[in-house]
Structure 1
Amino acid sequence: MEEFEMASTEALNEAVEQFESQGVDLSCIVKAVPAQSSADQQEDHHVLQALNSIRSGNDLQIRSDIKLFTEQCSLGFAQRFLAAQKGAYAVILSFCKNSETQDAVQAGLLAFAALTDGQPDLLDVDGNQFLLDILKKYQDSSSVMCAAIRTVRHCCLKHEQNRQNLIKGGVLPLLTGAITQHSACAELLKEASTALRVMTFDDDVRVTFGNAHEHAKMIVLEHNGLKVLIDAAKAHLNNTTVLSEICATLSRLAVRNEFCQDICDLGGLKLIMTLLADNYDSQDLARQVLSAIRAIAGNDDIKDAVANAGGVQLIVMAMNRHMGNAAVCEQGCACLSMLALRKPNNCKMIMEDGGAMAAVQAMKTHPKVVNVQKSSCILLRNLVSRMRNYNQPILEMGAESLITQALQNHKDCNDVCKAALRDLGCQVELRELWTGKHGGITN
């Protein structure tokens, strides 16, 4: 600022630009101009000022400081990281434990949730037990439950051990119970269904394998999760945000053939198809509904049920309506490829309703999105694997050049692209990596 006579904002932007051009990761750095005190010394960042006030302030002042701390942590990961480095976890947990009123508990939990967003490692044994105690104590308060469940979700995302500890402590019946008890509260339904979904993730790179599948089974078999979620969705048919979250969670729970059938028997399939028909203008809801259809269509009987209910036409309509959205195109192609698998009659419907053309158009629209290219190739391959008469119509759409382009541009598409080209009758180099004839096994 002094040497180049720059304004503070200009100097900050210049510094950020220089570091980023050198490949420096600034995600943990607060990018703000330090304020100057009257003694011409730099003041602490706002999040640290709030934290220090919480440590030493009186009851009336602490309430506003907690709110300021939450707002500052919500600005970005750098603020949360800085606060954690300065001991914020112990301070916030202590405030939560010592809070005597419901409003204070809620304020503390919101700060807790904001601090742990992206920092699940902060949660310790005391914090784990505190969250379980709060969920049990304040079951009648939707606002407190909502804040507590949000904290649980943040602490479980990308942290397998926290998930396992909370589940062992009995968090699953508390989550499903909250959905049932507060079925009229849209915000709580959204938080609780998302928290249940996080329990089925296998996203912690530090563990060899997680218990995602077991957790999904527990939610369904021990806590009646499918019925709880489907009933909740039926109570909020006009709220696309809640419906999106519930559909996303249902797709994570459809891990067994019988679970897919259970969703159908509980009215879930009819509900999902109705949602797609009535809300296909909503990109997010369309994406999540397609994801749910894809998951439950792993059951062969449900493949037929979806197709017979006009599902193919609805899926193609959603893809064409949101062709510019890569996620919708990916899920749409994945849905259709699942419906086409081992089902010649469904392949006929997909061809007649423009599914193949939609897949080709998706490949043209999103040439750099590997998942779109992959799911489109799988769909085209499934369409012709048992119905060779569709080879020529699909090739006339320009599929060969698009698949070849995907093969050249995306290494992850190598196998699916070659399989699609092979089944379409195109020239493709297939390498035989091992014949099993070279040498014998020796002790």
Structure 2
Amino acid sequence: MAKQISQKTFDDVVRENMAEFDMDANEALQDAIQQFESQGVNLNIIVKDASLYAISEDGEVQHHPVVAAINKLSLALDNSSAASEDINDILKTIQNECDGDPARRNLAATNGAYPILFKALSCYKDVPENLNSVLKSFCALVDGQPDLIDASGIELLISLLKTYQNTPDTLELVIQAIRLNCIMHERNRLQFVNLNLIIILTEMLTMHRLNTTIIKEICICLRALTLDDDVRVPFGRATENAKTMVTEGDALKLIMQLCEEHRNDTSVLAELFLTLSCLAVRDEFCQEVMDRGGVCLIISACQSAVDDKAVVRQALLVLKALAGNDEVKHEIARLGGIELVVAAMNKYQNNAQVSSAACKVLTNITLRNTDNCYKVVECQGHEQIIQVMKIHPTVDKVQQNACMALRNLVSRAKELSECILALGAESLLNDIMKYHKDVADEAKAALRDLGCKVELRELWKGERGTIQ
């Protein structure tokens, strides 16, 4: 593990270089960076800006701008006569310093920014003109730092969510703040969910069904609750949260209605499709989407927005999720979904993400369904799979999903192997085994089912010792 140092330690070394070796700020900064990196110190969260090491006229060391702004805000909050404009200016400085720079965000956090901004949220929770400025600074601070918030902060955000549910500008910022505190933090997600966040958000989808900005922000926040991205916990509650959205929040019905209402707005449609794919986590949920006409809606909307790469990719991800249900497989094929997927692969074959998503759909749609295997080959889907493998030889995800698609095409329809092998599939799969070690198992499975020569190694024979 790389060593870490504090901002103060780094600053002291820079100033020591300037004082003892008569270096200018740039020389001193570069020398300090070189010193610490040679010692294996990680400087990713250290602010490295030569302009910050100037000495004031009275000889005092100047604070970093974000630290100075935090100190000013603390004093202003204690001063009841402080002007709103002054406080907003200070908040804007904090926001600008934290936006886009993890090092400055970390510096702000280590200098007590969270408790001061929490105090500001509490002070101005009934003053919208100041509250929005506080929320913007708060979002900039917690972006990538969800550990900062505590139980009181979570409760305050839920309270603000309820209070400003009819004030779109403020509501958008509150939802954004909640979402940022849920990413990569299972404990925060659990606390928000326990405070009924899911039901509140799904109800707001109905309330603000005409406000595209709020719809998109709610969708992103709901998806954050379905993540399993916190390595500090053995398992998360992503699936349980998705189930709650569907069973208690009726999210499937709501999202499909919104897809119909906003089918001409591709930016909204992309967010809705992606959210729908996160909710289709159970067989009965996939069935419900189909029963409500969702498969027809998705295919129709994708055909209408085929020139929008984002919508196409999200539609493919939804179809992939829904195709886990055997009945949905038949429905997708019946409605021309296979032709749509192959056409999307052809149109966006140079895009790795679309190619990968399309291969995932073909993998799921051909699993345990021989008729669909023949249909894919009839539509030249096998040719498109081989083509994207050639176009993206270094992209593991494309290679992996393509291998799985080829394997499923022939696992129950061996007679299709000949037309696939004629395209040079064997050499491509052997290259994958050679250059993509993480995808070797998928490539080996495809070679085996295509009837090619493949070396199968017995990793363990039941004897004492280690696996080779």
Whole-angstrom CA distance in 2 between matches of 1:247 and 1:14? 51
Deviation of the 1:12 alpha carbon: 6.7
Structure 1 length-normalised TM? 0.92
Whole-angstrom CA distance in 1 between matches of 2:253 and 2:135? 29
Whole-angstrom CA distance in 2 between matches of 1:393 and 1:13? 61
Are 1:251 and 2:277 counterparts?
yes
Question: Which residue is 2:253 aligned to?
Answer: 227
Question: Which residue is 2:43 aligned to?
Answer: 26
**Which of the numbers 84, 91, 111 marks the counterpart of 2:109?**
84
Whole-angstrom CA distance in 1 between matches of 2:385 and 2:196? 44
Whole-angstrom CA distance in 1 between matches of 2:37 and 2:373? 50
Runs of 4+ in 1 over 6 A off after TM superposition: 1-7, 10-23
Amino acid at match of 1:160: E
Amino acid at match of 1:152: I
Whole-angstrom CA distance in 2 between matches of 1:262 and 1:294? 15
More deviation in 121-130 or 43-52?
Answer: 43-52
Amino acid at match of 1:429: E
The answer to whether the 8 A contact 1:254-1:260 is kept is yes
Question: Which residue is 2:75 aligned to?
Answer: 56
Percent identical across equivalent pairs? 40
SS in structure 2 of the partner of residue 34 of structure 1? helix
**Which of the numbers 118, 123, 126 marks the counterpart of 1:93?**
118
RMSD between aligned residues: 2.4
Distance 1:389 1:212, change over 3 A: same
Distance 1:238 1:413, change over 3 A: same
Give CA deviations for 1:321-370 in whole Å, capped at 9, x if unaligned.
22222111111101011111111111112112121111111111111211
The gaps in structure 1 that reach 5 residues or longer are none
Distance 1:11 1:367, change over 3 A: farther
Give CA deviations for 1:269-293 in whole Å, capped at 9, x if unaligned.
2221123212222222222111111
**Which of the numbers 66, 69, 88 marks the counterpart of 1:47?**
66
Question: Which residue is 1:145 aligned to?
Answer: 171
Give CA deviations for 1:250-282 in whole Å, capped at 9, x if unaligned.
111111111001112233222211232122222
The answer to whether the 8 A contact 2:97-2:104 is kept is yes
Are 1:67 and 2:92 counterparts?
yes
SS in structure 1 of the partner of residue 201 of structure 2? helix
Deviation of the 1:231 alpha carbon: 2.0
The answer to whether the 8 A contact 1:193-1:229 is kept is no
Structure 2 length-normalised TM? 0.87
The gaps in structure 2 that reach 5 residues or longer are 1-16, 77-81
Whole-angstrom CA distance in 1 between matches of 2:141 and 2:395? 33
**Which of the numbers 202, 206, 224 marks the counterpart of 1:198?**
224
Distance 1:229 1:59, change over 3 A: farther
Distance 1:307 1:42, change over 3 A: farther
Whole-angstrom CA distance in 2 between matches of 1:310 and 1:18? 63
Question: Which residue is 2:390 aligned to?
Answer: 364
Whole-angstrom CA distance in 2 between matches of 1:238 and 1:40? 62
Amino acid at match of 2:67: L
